[in-house]
Amino acid sequence: MDYFSKSYHPPGTPPGTLVAVEGGAEAPLSIRLIDYTAAELREQELANAGECQPYLQGPSNTWIHIQGYAEPAVLRHLGELFNLHPLAMEDVFNIGQRPKMESYDEQLFVILGLATTDDSIIKTRQVSLFLGEHYIVSFCNGNRDPFGPVRKRLQKNGKRFQSRPIDYLFYTLIDVVIDGGFPVLESFGEELEDLEVELLRCPTRDTLAWIHRIKRELLLLRRIFWPQREVVNGLLREDHSPISEGTRIYLRDCYDHSIQIMELLETYREMTSSMLDVYLSSVSHHTNEIMRILTIIATIFIPLTFIAGVYGMNFGNNSNSPWAMPELNWYYGYPLIWLVMIGVAALLLIFFKRRKWF
């Protein structure tokens, strides 16, 4: 996984520049339009951005979602149709932006980070939203459309949903992105449980690599979730004309979810840091256990080596000296020395056992 990746133009490029970069087309472009009033709803795939123009003339609410890689020409066309600010379109094109909120006249621009899991791999995508008087334009890079559940709600509970202003749909899209953090963090919780079991049972070098990977991924998620909370707080606290008082009530719930996600994230980060300390303590304890066993073995063999060294000096052949070793000429001298050495080792083992050294 790429950490802290961001697309950007070369330094010195004029602001608002949209220039295609090599390798940018990561997913095919898909443009989907939903136009609705309190009485009816129309949904269709668009071949190009210009096909949405007829829907902008009436009083209906229009939602246009662009999924995948949008060429600069497509972005310029959309910018002209909806009068989107060039700086905002540059942020849409250069993915990897920090979550933020900008206000342009009667238009709101919000960038959010969507975290997903794919085969236990954390992936992040940028979601960009424009809110106008009767329209929403949303962008998301990647192949997977995150707003499928919202379209199903519009189709199943259309009358109730369609009777609300367009800013309620704007809140719903933000809520989908924010709540996407819960299943990601849930997968981290399960992974941390497995990691804790392995850590207490038999930690290895792979365990250390596992801990560091989780720490890096949690750091990446914090880089997304922390400013995202401030974005929702800004939408809730500041006075923005496209957002009605009725929708602010729902934004409170969205803000509450963002706080819960941040609390879970910080909890998991603290758990991971403590697991790293436990790993280091466990490795140190394991090393100390090995050193204690080796010390016990060495301590047992020290007196045995001394005895073997004394009777290996070969002074027994000097029969004229009163200081010669008479034990070397004993009939049972050899087995007797073995019994002494075994007795010394046994006494040392009993002493260590009573002191609870092993």
Residues 278 and 317 in one domain: no
Confirm whether 228 is domain-assigned. Answer: yes
Global confidence as pTM: 0.77
Confirm whether 15 is domain-assigned. Answer: no
For 49-100, the pLDDT digits (tens) are 888 887 777 788 899 999 988 888 888 888 888 888 888 888 888 888 889 9
Q: CA–CA separation, 169 vs 250, rounded Å?
A: 11
Q: Out of 282, 302, 328, pick the residue that ends a domain.
A: 282
Residues 216 and 316 in one domain: no
Task: Give percent above pLDDT 70 in the chain.
Answer: 88
Residue 21 has pLDDT above 60, yes or no: no
Confidence tier at 13 by pLDDT (50, 70, 90): low
Q: CA–CA separation, 63 vs 267, rounded Å?
A: 37
Domain holding 219: CATH number? 3.30.460.20
pLDDT for res 9: 57
Confirm whether 302 is domain-assigned. Answer: no
Range in 97-101, 119-123, 201-205, 289-293 with the lowest mean pLDDT: 119-123
> Contact at 8 Å (CB) between 325 and 315?
yes
Residues 320 and 274 in one domain: no
Backbone angles phi, psi at 118, to 5 degrees: -135, 105
Residues 37 and 91 in one domain: yes
> Contact at 8 Å (CB) between 259 and 229?
yes
264 is in which domain, residue-wise? 30-282
Confirm whether 84 is domain-assigned. Answer: yes
Residue 242 has pLDDT above 80, yes or no: yes
Residues 227 and 107 in one domain: yes
Strands of the sheet containing 61-67, edge to edge, are 41-46, 30-36, 61-67, 135-140, 121-131, 107-118, 100-104
pLDDT for res 136: 92
Residue 356 has pLDDT above 90, yes or no: no
Name, in order, each residue with C-beta under 8 angstroms of 203's C-beta and a sequence gap of 6 or more.
279, 282, 283
Which runs of E-coded beta strand occur in the chain? 30-36, 41-46, 61-67, 100-104, 107-118, 121-131, 135-140
Helix (H, G, I), strand (E, B) or coil at 96: coil
Confidence tier at 10 by pLDDT (50, 70, 90): low
Residue 7 has pLDDT above 70, yes or no: no
Residues 205 and 70 in one domain: yes
Mean pLDDT for the stretch of residues 173-188: 92
Residues 230 and 339 in one domain: no
Residues 198 and 72 in one domain: yes
Residues 116 and 40 in one domain: yes
Confirm whether 25 is domain-assigned. Answer: no
Q: What is the DSSP letter of 328?
A: G
For 291-336, the pLDDT digits (tens) are 888 888 888 888 888 888 877 776 656 666 666 777 777 777 788 8
Residues 152 and 262 in one domain: yes
Residues 44 and 106 in one domain: yes
pLDDT for res 265: 93
Residue 3 has pLDDT above 60, yes or no: no
Confirm whether 252 is domain-assigned. Answer: yes
pLDDT for res 127: 94
- How many distinct structural domains can be found in the chain? 2
Confirm whether 191 is domain-assigned. Answer: yes
Half-sphere exposure of residue 221, counting CA atoms within 13 Å on the CB side? 30
Confidence tier at 6 by pLDDT (50, 70, 90): low
For 126-164, the pLDDT digits (tens) are 999 999 888 899 999 888 889 988 988 888 766 777 888
pLDDT for res 319: 64
Confirm whether 13 is domain-assigned. Answer: no
Residues 325 and 188 in one domain: no
